[in-house]
Structure 1
Amino acid sequence: MPVTPSAFRPCVVIPCYNHGATIAAVVARLQPYDLPCIIVDDGSEPATKQQLAQLTGVTLIELESNQGKGEAVMTGLKAAAQAGFTHAIQLDADGQHCIEDVPRFLDEARAHPASLISGTPEYDESVPKSRLYGRYITHVWVWIETLSLSLKDSMCGFRVYPLAATLEVIARHSPGKRMDFDTEIMVRLYWAGTDSRFLHTRVIYPPDGVSHFDALRDNVRISWMHTRLFFGMLPRIPTLLTRRRHQSAHWAQVPERKGLAGMRLMLNIYQRLGRRAFNALLYPVVAWMWLTGSTQRKASQQWLARVREQAQTQQITLPNGLNSYRHFLRFGDAMLNKIAAWRGDIIWGRDIEFAAGSREVLQPQAGQGKLILAAHLGDIEASRALAQVEAGLVINALVFTEHAQRFRQIIEEIAPQAGVNLLPVSHIGPETAMMLQEKLEAGEWVAIVGDRIAVNPQRGGERRVCWSEFMGRPAPFPQGPFILAAALRCPVILMMVLREQGKLRIHAEHFADPLLLPRATRQQALQEHIDYYALRLEFYALRSPLDWFNFYDFWQLPPEKESGC
């Protein structure tokens, strides 16, 4: 029978093992909330037993020997259900949890009685770095095991269990009895259809705190748990993917928040663990993306098939190791390069260099800005490193996305003085040209991509494109960037930043100076410029096929009214 707010009966369950020095203070902090409290003594030493015996107003359950935190929690949950409670708040006995947040957790559980309510820890400087780093690894594994990013933290011991659903899962699956319990029960509840909801809560590690985490044995147990959960996930893939699609359809505004949180998480891992550790975590993350992203996976496979066909036609030798999984890996690497570029961590000479002749092409001219014509090929954000060799250079990137604001927000957080400025626009119009003209006249540069159709049609309901030969087939290209270049009447540079021989290499060439669209032959001239752009884009894409980051059917125009050349 579903729990209703009127039938909501919570209690507290505290597993305790040799926490005699802190348990009394924890119980005292709980008293203002008048909650029944069940303490499970997990075979503590006599000193702790003596402290527990002095407590009043609690139910004490004693295990004869140490069984592990998980077993103690499960014992407490079963006792709570037998006593008629519907929900149990789990708290640690060492005082690390912010007990003053109990009312918030209860309010959330009362509003969502069928969900598991859990904390998302906010740590201070007392947190051991080994614990912090281990959490990131567990986060990644949990995302893989659930094929979802919805479980924000599976290790926090401050949570509210819906007892009926939790005990049903325990009876069917016998989760781990020690430090592996918290994560496993959350994953198995998710598999069983119980959502988790998360609240931020402060967590401290007292300097004299008692830790029962056995670095060897518990890490082995946790590794074995993740192995079992991974193989348990495999037969559940269809169900999990169906659930994920339903969640995505229902939470229409989640992508913006999730994207922002994802960027912050990437940055946090990179800052704390470094690039080598991040790259190690990238493999399982990309495996999950590859398994669940069927549309992107098919687009990648289509792209690589077209590349092979065109390379054979042109008798070009392609790089080794071209496959869809490595394509996804390269995209993940490029995302990290994006963060590194924003932070100024891309070092000239070590990480990035000019291709032959490119530096001369990019030489700044006093009082004269340039238009950089780029594509979703390679690491164009790494052009940020140009500021290291050209002092005072400012590059403004025109971004066609409704979510551009989140990129700007992250940049302002991690690199407020970054030389690359994001300029989000929904379409290119006269006001766009006027804004960019001012920047060019100030000697700044403007970067724009010429390979992707805007999400929304132009004013008037038409999507203005030109079709041009690309990889042996006609593909749609936007007119807007080329019309804008003609309106600005400035030097236009074609630039790609490709990963070659272990480094990022900037390829730059003159495209037009200026780009002209004579009134009498406007359509013909526009088509010729776009044809040349497509030709050079193909040339660079064949040099580095895994740098192609258009993960959709590039040769198809979305079903909108179009005006073709």
Structure 2
Amino acid sequence: MTNFRPCFLIPCYNHGKTIPAVVELLMSYGYPMIIVDDGSENETKRILEEVTQHNESITLITLAENQGKGGAVIAGIEKAYQQSYSHAIQIDADGQHDLEALPKLIAESQEHPTALISGQPIYDESVPKSRLYGRYATHIWVWIETLSFAIKDSMCGFRSYPIGPTINVLERAVLGRRMDFDTEIMVRMYWNETDIRFINTRVIYPEDGISHFDALWDNVKISWMHTKLFFGMLPRIPSLLKRKPVQEDHWSSHAERGTILGIQFLLWIYSTFGRKVFSLLLKPVMAYYYLRGGSVKDASDDFIQQVNAYARIKGIQLPEKLTTYRHLVSFGETMLDKLAAWRGDFSDKNLTVHGIEHYQTLAQREKGIVLLGSHLGNLELCRALSRRHTHLKINALVFTEHAERFNTVMKTVNPQSEVNVIQVSKIGPDTAILLQQKIDDGEWIVIVGDRTSVTKENRVIWADFLGKPAPFPQGPFMLASILKQPVYLMFGLRDDTQKDPLFDVYLEPFSEQIILPRGKREEALQEVVQNYAQRLEHFTLKAPSQWYNFFNFWQLTGKKDDN
């Protein structure tokens, strides 16, 4: 964007102790700043004058009386509009936001200049539990008010506002000016067809931090805000249902729907009412996704069309009639299965292990092994297997930014779990060293082989899958080669012919050791990947409704690789 001209916007109310450090950190970016003194006490006023008096790049706005956070942000956005800035990047003055995420926020704002970019908090242990649970209550209301899961967090003050669309909303409606502002402006901008995008950011609550949240009056204002937004949503239902969600091309960019509260809510339903009630509630939820359409439904349609065409050509009788709605319901049921597996609800009675002799032998090895899995069925069943040998520790590699949050969530479900989730952005020497140490300690490494790299999408091997060439990542197979240990395949498929949750777990040897000779690496890698694709195809045809790659599996996005 050639006219990307942002400024930093810092609302400040009695944060004299922390704002100098925030300003100093922001100075290195070279962008002008607007600081709004929201009726602070004299000591903070004095500090603000010292910070700004010799710096022409800082505009200080002084409000005679405290307006609340929303009032301060509105004043700053209006000033940014008057000074012809394109974006106002809001930073809280209390130092809660991790400014290491700021370059990503700025880059995302440059790439999507008309979108509101917001932080999605990752909290540490310092977060007050009352605050955390209160946020999730707001999340649920926002999902209702937008008829969408597009807004993952509406309360984080780490944002980049596009000035034009924001002013447009401010001119049309009278918004709350205190703690209700952050949520209301985001919902109304969504109503106004502004895209809302998120980046992960760490948020801390310092022990000596100052909170201006009034438990009584701010909750009253927030309740009134949600009342207004709910009734404002009703006449907008047709347009909201027609609105297509933001399309993300690469699988790793697809928005996560789950949160700690969501998982706990699912567990509460499951624990209180049982699986039957959960399944009944699941159907209208998945019907909503089906009627709403979007990339998930499109990907399901493409897969069903491909697998049906392949089955007809090969004369294969599929075990079930496939529909997109049934596909989505199957995914929901597998999400419950994953939670139940983490919670430890599945035992040997639920599993039929094909290849149990391999498992018994491998569990006694001094060194670990590599397990190649996929997004077919339920790979979480390896947790049920691990309980047969309490000394066995399993590490699952994932290639998204959500692993740390997922670890935290699942540890709340089962603190005793012996399966660790390791997040990596790319497979490099440091990753190989870490995993080699775990292998030497007798731990197992689980890695999926059916999704392209987050950072190096074009490093793929094309292999035939269901009658059509598909791109498979090089990384998992090269990593297995580096680790120089036996490689096994594992697939966990639910038996949908049974009322009770029963599963077939398939454990089979893939390679005693993947060897990629230097002179013939490409040919050897092609053979290895094609063998994997053939086994993945074999098991996919056993349970096609349990295929959970909800993106266009047979093509790349065209995204350039990171350097």
TM-score in same-fold range (> 0.5) = yes
- Identify the match of residue 142 of structure 1 among 141, 144, 148: 144
> What's the secondary structure of 2:259's corresponding residue?
helix
For residue 473 of structure 2, the aligned residue among 451, 461, 478 is 478
Aligned counterparts of 2:66 and 2:379: Cα–Cα separation in 1: 45
5 Å-filtered alignment, 1:95-174, equals 106-108=68-70, 111-112=73-74, 139=141, 142=144, 145=147, 148-149=150-151, 165=173
Residue pair 1:146, 1:191 contacting (<8 A) in 2 also: no
Quick one: structure 1 residues 146 and 368, their matched pair in 2 at CA, closer, same or farther if it must change by over 3 Å? closer
After superposition, the Cα gap between the structure-2 partners of 1:146 and 1:434, relative to the gap in structure 1 and judged at 3 Å, is closer
Structure 2, unmatched stretches of 5+, are: 1-64, 78-127, 156-169, 176-185, 196-211, 218-226
Q: CA deviation at 1:324?
A: 1.1
Where does residue 19 of structure 1 map in the other structure? none
CA distance in 2, matches of 1:427, 1:164: 46
Residue 472 of structure 2 aligns to a residue whose secondary structure is: strand
* Alignment partners' CA distance in 2, 1:329 and 1:233: 24
Residue 309 of structure 2 corresponds to residue 309 of structure 1? yes
Equivalent AA in structure 2 for residue 359 of structure 1: I
Q: Distance in 1 between matches of 2:337 and 2:146?
A: 23
State the match for 2:241 in structure 1: 237
Q: Match of 1:375?
A: 374
Distance change (3 Å), C-alpha of 1:336 and 1:390 = same
User: Helix, strand or coil for the counterpart of 1:262?
Assistant: coil
296 and 267 in structure 1: CA distance in 2 versus 1, 3 angstrom threshold: closer
- State the match for 2:463 in structure 1: 468
The answer to whether the aligner puts 1:267 opposite 2:266 as a matched pair is: no
Post-superposition Cα deviations, 1:426-460, rounded to whole Å, max 9, x if no partner, equal: 112232222212111111100001111112128xx
| Structure 1 residue 164 displacement after superposition | 9.2
TM-score (norm 2): 0.58
Residue matched to 1:354: 352
Offset at residue 296 of structure 1 (A): 2.0
Aligned-partner Cα distance in 2 for 1:231–1:439? 57
Q: Is the Cα–Cα contact under 8 Å of residues 398 and 424 in structure 2 kept in the other structure?
A: yes
Classify 1:389/1:165 alpha carbon distance in 2 versus 1 (closer, same or farther; 3 Å): same
- CA change 1:200–1:454 in 2 (3 A) is farther
Note if contact 1:371-1:448 (Cα within 8 Å) is conserved in structure 2: yes
Q: Distance in 2 between matches of 1:393 and 1:264?
A: 27
* Distance of 2:152 and 2:432 partners within structure 1: 41
Report the Cα distance in structure 1 between the residues aligned to 2:485 and 2:553, rounded to whole angstroms. 29
- The alpha carbon displacement at 1:340 in A equals 2.8
**SS at structure 2 position matched to 1:268:** helix
1:337 deviates by: 2.7
CA distance in 2, matches of 1:494, 1:374: 6
- 1:476-503, CA deviations, whole angstroms, 9 ceiling, x for partnerless residues? 1111111111221211110011112342
Bigger-Rg structure (1/2): 1
Give CA deviations for 1:337-377 in whole Å, capped at 9, x if unaligned. Answer: 333333x2331145x3134x321122212313111001111
One-letter amino acid of the structure 2 residue matched with residue 372 of structure 1: L
> 2:145 and 2:324 mapped to 1: Cα distance?
21
- Whether contact under 8 Å (1:136, 1:269) holds in the other structure is no
1:291, 1:370 → 2: CA distance? 44
Unmatched 5+ stretches in structure 1: 1-102, 115-121, 154-161, 168-185, 205-221, 249-254
The answer on whether the counterparts of 1:393 and 1:419 sit within 8 Å (CA) in structure 2 is yes
For these two proteins, the number of residue pairs brought into alignment is 389
Find the residue that maps to 1:557 and give its secondary structure: coil
Shift of 1:312: 1.5
Counting aligned pairs with the same residue, the percent is 36
Task: Answer yes or no: is the 8 Å Cα contact 2:139–2:154 preserved in 1.
Answer: no
With over 3 angstroms needed to count, the CA separation of the structure-2 counterparts of 1:264 and 1:560, relative to structure 1, is: closer
Q: Distance in 2 between matches of 1:346 and 1:203?
A: 41
Instruction: Note if contact 1:440-1:446 (Cα within 8 Å) is conserved in structure 2.
Output: yes
Runs of 4+ in 1 over 6 A off after TM superposition: 135-138, 150-153, 186-190, 192-195, 226-232
> Which residue of structure 2 aligns with residue 493 of structure 1?
488
Shift of 1:278: 4.0
Moved more, 499-508 or 366-375: 499-508
**Given residue 352 of structure 2, which amino acid in structure 1 is its aligned partner?**
F
Rounded Cα–Cα distance in structure 1 between residues aligned with 2:188 and 2:282: 24
**Alignment partners' CA distance in 1, 2:264 and 2:546:** 25
Identify the residue that residue 511 of structure 1 maps to in structure 2: 510
1:165–1:306 CA distance, 2 compared to 1 (3 A):
same
Match of 2:318, SS state, is coil
2:324 pairs with 1:328: no
User: 1-side partners of 2:336 and 2:66: how far apart?
Assistant: 36
CA distance in 2 between partners of 1:282 and 1:327 (Å): 12
Residue 302 (structure 1) shift:
0.7
Flag the 1:201–1:412 CA change in 2: closer, same or farther, 3 A: farther
In the TM superposition, what are the counterparts of 1:11-160 in structure 2 within 5 Å?
106-108=68-70, 111-112=73-74, 139=141, 142=144, 145=147, 148-149=150-151
Q: Retained in 2: the 8 A contact 1:146–1:233?
A: no
Report SS of the residue matched to 2:371: strand
1-side partners of 2:246 and 2:479: how far apart? Answer: 39
Contact 1:338 1:382 in 2 (8 A): yes
How far off is 1:144 after superposition? 7.1
Q: What does residue range 174-213 of structure 1 map to in structure 2 within 5 Å?
A: none
* Separation (CA, whole Å) in 2 of partners of 1:201 and 1:319: 58
Task: Give the CA deviation at 1:536.
Answer: 0.5
State the AA in 2 paired with 1:269. F
- Alpha-carbon distance between aligned partners in 2 of 1:290 and 1:304, rounded to the nearest angstrom: 14
Structure 2 partner of 1:298: 298
Cα deviations across residues 452-479 of structure 1 (Å, max 9, x unaligned)?
A: 1112128xxxx32211111101111111
Aligned to 2:444: 445
Hey, what's the Cα distance between the residues in 2 that align with 1:227 and 1:377? 42
1:394/1:534 CA distance change after superposition, 3 Å? same
Scaled by the length of structure 1, the TM-score of the pair is 0.58
Contact 1:144-1:230 at 8 Å conserved across structures = no
Backbone CA RMSD of aligned residues: 4.6
SS in 1 for 2:310: helix
